[in-house]
Amino acid sequence: MATEDDTKRTAGSSERLEGILTLDLVAIPEGAKVRLVGGETAEVVSNPRDGMWILLNILEAPNDPDYVGEEDLIFWADVLGVID
């Protein structure tokens, strides 16, 4: 049985989708820092500007310290936004 907390964490939550749908992945430049849905902070290494994928270098990963320093191709739905 799903709890209220489980419902808040699902990809279908309107709160999460509202933020994501306003993000223009195509416009994010190389060198920009972004926040991911898992709480990670990453720097854009390459952006093919297809609006779907972005190559990131993971700078901080609170839930998985071994992920720090890795480069990973990330899908648009996993990017919450640009960090100033």
| Secondary structure of residue 78 in the 3-state scheme | helix
Q: For each of the domains in the chain, give its residue range(s) and CATH number, in order of start.
A: 4-83 (2.30.30)
The per-residue pLDDT for range 11-23, each reduced to its tens digit, is 444 444 444 557 8
Full-model pTM: 0.74
C-alpha distances in Å from residue 37, one per residue of 1, 14, 76: 23, 14, 10
Range 33-54 average pLDDT: 96
How far apart are the C-alpha atoms of 37 and 77, rounded to whole Å?
8
Report which of residues 55 and 15 the model is more confident about: 55
* CA pseudo-torsion sign 53, 63, 18, 84: negative
Q: How far is Cα of residue 46 from the mean position of the Cα atoms in its chain?
A: 14
